[in-house]
Amino acid sequence: MYDIIIIGAGAAGAFAAYELARAEKPLKVLLLEKGLSLKDRIAAKEAKDKGDKELGKRYNIMEGFFGAGSFSDGKYNITTSFGGDLHNYIGVGKAMELMWEVDAINMSMGGGDAKLYSTAAGDLKARALRHDLHLLEAQVRHLGTDRNLVIAENMYRKIKDAVDIRFETTALDIEKKEDVFEVITDKGNFTAHKVIVATGRVGSRWVNKLCQKFEIPTENNRVDIGVRVELPALIFKDITDEVYESKIVYKTAKYNDQVRTFCMNPYGEVVVENYGDILTVNGHSYADPARHTENTNFALLVSNHFTKPFKDSNEYGASIARLSNMLGGGVLVQRFGDLERGRRSNEHRMRQCFTRPTLDATPGDLSLVIPKRQLDAIIDMIYALDKIAPGTANEDTLLYGVEVKFYNSNVAVDHHLETNVKGLYVLGDTSGVTHSLSQAAASGIFVARELMTEMQG
C-alpha cells in the first residue's frame, strides 16, 4: 500500500516525484516507468550509435526516466503564450511562478552556465512584422541534450532513496475499490490512496481507454503536420544568436491556415522519433561546441483542427506518417528545389546537394505524402521566412518528413488537475493541458504540493 503512485517518469512524473521526495513528513510513493532507467537508456543509445543492433533495439527516445525530454534539445520555454494551457487551470501567476521554479531546479541540478534567451527582441520582431510574420514572446533556457542528461541523473539521485522506483514496469489498468486504487502492471499489482497519471504523449491511447472506463470526458480535435527543415546555420545565425528559439507564426493568404516554426536547433542534428508503429522526425542540439554541426534545423508545422463528426485527429496524423514510412522505409528527405520542380530527390541529386544532411534518410517526394493544403502552407512559409533569413528558400534546403505533433485528448480536470474520479490526477502532456517541458514539469510540482497539503494537512 502506497500513499501515492505516479505512472510515468517523464517531466511531469519526475518533477512530481522530486517534490514529494522533499516532503517534511515522508509519504510512501511509488514511481512506475514503462521504459529503461537513465543509465540503461544511455547505454542503449550508445550501442545503437555504434551499430550494435541487439542492444540498440532497447533504445527508445520516447520512454524511460525523464521521458522524451531526456534526449531532447533541452529547451524550456518559460511562457504562457504557447506550450500549453496550464495557466487556464491554475492561473497565469501561479503557472509562471512554477515554471521559474522548474528553471531554478534545472540550474541547481547541473544547468551550469546555460544561457537564458528572450524572444522579445525589438529589431527581430519589427523585421518579422514587416512581412506578416509574428514572433511570439518567451524566455527560453537552452540546456542542450548533454546538460539535460546531467540534470536527469542528478534528479534521479535526489529521489531514489525517498521514492520506490520501478523501471520496465508497464501499467496495464487501474481499478478503484472504495477509496483505494489498484494499479495493475505486468510485474504485479500495487495499491494507493492517490494516483498520478503522467504517461506523456506516448501513453495517450492508454489514457483514452482509462477515460472511457471511468467516464472521464475528453476532447481532441487537433494535430500538427509538417516537415523538419535543415539548412546551413549561417542563414539563421543572426536570429539564433539573438533569441535562440524563435517561435514565428504565419497565416497563409489562400487558406488562412496557421503555420509556425517549432523546436529550432542551431548547429544541431535531425533525429528519428519512434512512436512504436510509426517513425517521425525531430531535432536536437548540444551545448558542447565540440558536438555542433554546420547546420540549423527547425520544424514547420501546420495546425489542423477538426469538427464533428471526425474525432480521431491523432490517427489522421499517424496515417500520414505511415504513408511516409511506407514510401521511404522510414523518414523521407527532399531538397526544396526538387519539391518546387515537382520531382523527387534521389541519391544522385542528394550527392550534389551543398547542404550535408545530419540524418541518413531516404530521398523521396514529400508531395506524395503531405496533403496539398498543408504542403502549400509549408512552401508559403519558407518563402516568407526567406524575407527575414535570406537563403531559407535555397534549392538545397532540406525537408525531412514527416514531423507530426500529436496532442493528447484534453482530459477533463479541475483546477487541482484532478479528474471527476476523486484521487485520480492526470497531468503533463498526457492530459492535453501542457505541450512543453516547462509546463509539464510545473504541473508535476503543482500536483505534488496539492497532495502534500491534503495528505499531511
DSSP labels, 377-428:
HHHHHHHHHHTTSTTTT-TT-EEEEEEEEE---EE---TTSB-SSTTEEE-G
* Residues 6+ positions from 126 with CB-CB distance below 8 Å: none
> What is the number of alpha carbons within 13 Å of residue 352 lying toward its C-beta?
8
pLDDT tens for residues 16-68?
999 999 998 899 999 999 999 999 999 999 998 888 988 888 988 889 999 98
List the one residue out of 264, 224, 221, 257 whose CA is nearest residue 240: 264
Report the run of H or E that residue 298 belongs to, with start and end. Answer: strand 295-305
Average pLDDT over residues 317-322: 94
* Residue pLDDT, tens place only, 336-376: 999 999 999 999 999 999 999 999 999 999 999 999 999 99
Instruction: Give me the CATH code for the 2-116+142-219+410-456 domain, please.
Output: 3.50.50.60
Helices (H) and strands (E) in the chain, counts: 14, 22
Place 122 in a pLDDT band, splitting at 50, 70 and 90: low
Residue 288 CB neighbour total at 10 angstroms: 11
Q: pLDDT over 90 for what percent of the chain? A: 75
What pLDDT shows up at residue 199? 96
Dihedral of the alpha carbons of 137, 142, 145, 148, in degrees to the nearest 10: -110
Question: What does the pLDDT average to over 83-99?
Answer: 96
Which cell goes with 5? Answer: 503512485
Q: Which three cell numbers stand for residue 406?
A: 500529436
Q: C-alpha grid cell for residue 148?
A: 539535460
* Gap between the Cα atoms of 139 and 76, Å rounded: 8
Q: What's the CA gap between 189 and 187, in Å, rounded?
A: 7
Where in the chain are the domains?
2-116+142-219+410-456, 222-406
Q: What is the 3-state secondary structure (H, E, C) of 303-315?
A: EEECCCCCCCHHH
- Which residues on adjacent β-strands are paired with residue 272? 281
Over residues 430-457, the pLDDT tens digits come to 999 999 999 999 999 999 999 999 988 6
- pLDDT (0 to 100) of residue 205: 83
Q: What is the mean predicted confidence (pLDDT) over 87-108? A: 97
Structure confidence at residue 405 as a pLDDT band (50, 70, 90): confident
Grid coordinates of 68:
522524451
Which residues partner with 405 through β-bridges?
224
Q: How confident is the model at residue 113 (pLDDT cuts 50, 70, 90)?
A: confident
Mean pLDDT of the chain: 93
Quote the CA–CA distance of 321 and 319 in Å, as a whole number: 5
Output the furthest CA–CA distance in the chain (Å, rounded).
69
Q: What is the mean pLDDT of residues 179-186?
A: 96
Q: What single string gives the DSSP state of each residue in 201-245?
A: GGGHHHHHHHHHHHT--EE--EEEEEEEEEEEHHHHHHHHHHHSS
Q: Is it the case that residue 211 has pLDDT exceeding 90? A: yes
Coil/strand/helix, residue 144:
helix
Place of cell 511509488: 30
Residue with cell 501542457: 434
CB atoms inside a 10 Å sphere around CB 394: 18
